[in-house]
Structure 1
């Protein structure tokens, strides 16, 4: 009887913890790793290894949040890649509007070129809005857009895509012809498997995909990532 009481108590505690964790998010949103436990994450805007060179507003924890329906589709992508001894690594998923505002502020600070050599060597910072690399609104804030790449499950290394994530320049475009055969093949693999399970690519960025059936097409959220 005592053992049954202990088990029942543990179940109640576990259920309570899960409910508390879920309650942190608006309805329809989930933590991706709750649904895809083995998926890799490297949330770049939580730290300083990104195109603005510092942590971004709204990222208080290194977790990936996504809409539930988009996460369920992403799980199918991961499963197929796992069958090939590959997997996904997420750089960014849901992004608060305040983070987008932070990007806008950075883009207008023309003299702040700390990360230019690494992230936008051939692009004039004054043209980032015009060229489509920075915007006042982002699909990420609707909760169903994601930035990601493919890794080798054995080594955990990223496949060579020709540029780093968030490289702002023509080299990151899907139709860029200057990548080598391996890089082109890797980009094509990511694109084909993402499209297969309902995601559409962004032409200028090989890592950027939006779930076609996104549930909040007109809503831009601003809740903090925590």
Structure 2
């Protein structure tokens, strides 16, 4: 039995109702599908399957660099991607469904105040002891299979040489500058964030205002169910 401690990057859909852990042991049982089954060439950069993330190593539950989502969510995200390609743009995906055990791993990392290896890249203006509570807490939309972390890339007229838009911060940057409407970013960065927001909103995704990269499909297919299926 794992301790359910999840990163707070989305408010719970029903704060006054219990969220239960699914008994599903496979992606198929949880109705989780690989986004590449719908968009084979979508750009993935799954951070928690590697070392380029705020814990500095692969995270528990990420045995493969895949974006899994509940089927209706994957279908909606595929529509966003197809719409963007008409503008010679596309998505770059950093994270999708996140097993509950992965967030428990985040909390263990946050308690280890001696590990400061990623401070400069991810929380340069914060003491690590402040991450628990404000940034790491018991609720995450990712474990419900309806949330994705992503950015937008602009390609040339031939849909090649795609480059990420300047959004003002990297992914998983802990601080106010990552807030979607933060006034401290440049006009170009704000416009890029709004462009991503509009593209996602057209297909029913809602942004979490504290993180410009974080989107959840509304309404969620399983708003009171979390999953702990490893990503394989």
Interval containing the TM-score (normalised by the shorter chain): 0.7 to 0.9
- Measured after TM superposition, the shift of residue 27 of structure 1 is 4.1
1:149 to 148, 151, 154: 151
**1: CA distance, partners of 2:27 / 2:112:** 34
Conserved? CA contact 2:181–2:190, under 8 Å: no
Matched, 1:121 2:124: yes
Larger relative helix fraction: 1
- 1:15-164 residue pairs with structure 2 within 5 A? 24-131=27-134, 133-153=135-155, 154-164=160-170
1:193 and 2:196 matched: no
1:181 to 172, 187, 190: 187
Moved over 4 A (4+): none
Q: In the alignment, what sits opposite 2:11?
A: none
Distance 1:24 1:209 in 2: 21
Distance in 2 between the 1:113 and 1:225 partners? 27
Q: Say whether the 8 Å CA contact 1:30–1:67 is kept in structure 2.
A: yes
SS, match of residue 210 in structure 1: strand
Instruction: Output the TM-score relative to the length of structure 1.
Output: 0.87
Contact kept? 2:27, 2:229, Cα under 8 Å: no
How many correspondences in the alignment?
Answer: 203
RMSD: 1.2
Q: TM-score, normalised by structure 2?
A: 0.84
Paired with 1:168 and 1:63, the residues of 2 have a C-alpha distance of 24
Indicate the residue corresponding to 2:15 in structure 1. Answer: none
- Per-residue CA shift, 1:62-108, capped at 9, x if unaligned? 11100110111111211111110000010000000000000010111
Structure 1 segment 165-180 matched on structure 2, within 5 A = 165-180=171-186
SS of the residue 2:180 aligns to: coil
In 2, the alpha carbon distance for the partners of 1:189 and 1:27 equals 32
Identify if the C-alpha distance between structure 1 residues 97 and 45 changes in structure 2 by more than 3 Å, giving closer, same or farther.
Answer: same
- Aligned residue for 1:7? none
Q: Which runs of 5+ in 1 are unaligned?
A: 1-22
CA contact (8 A) 1:94 1:145 kept: yes
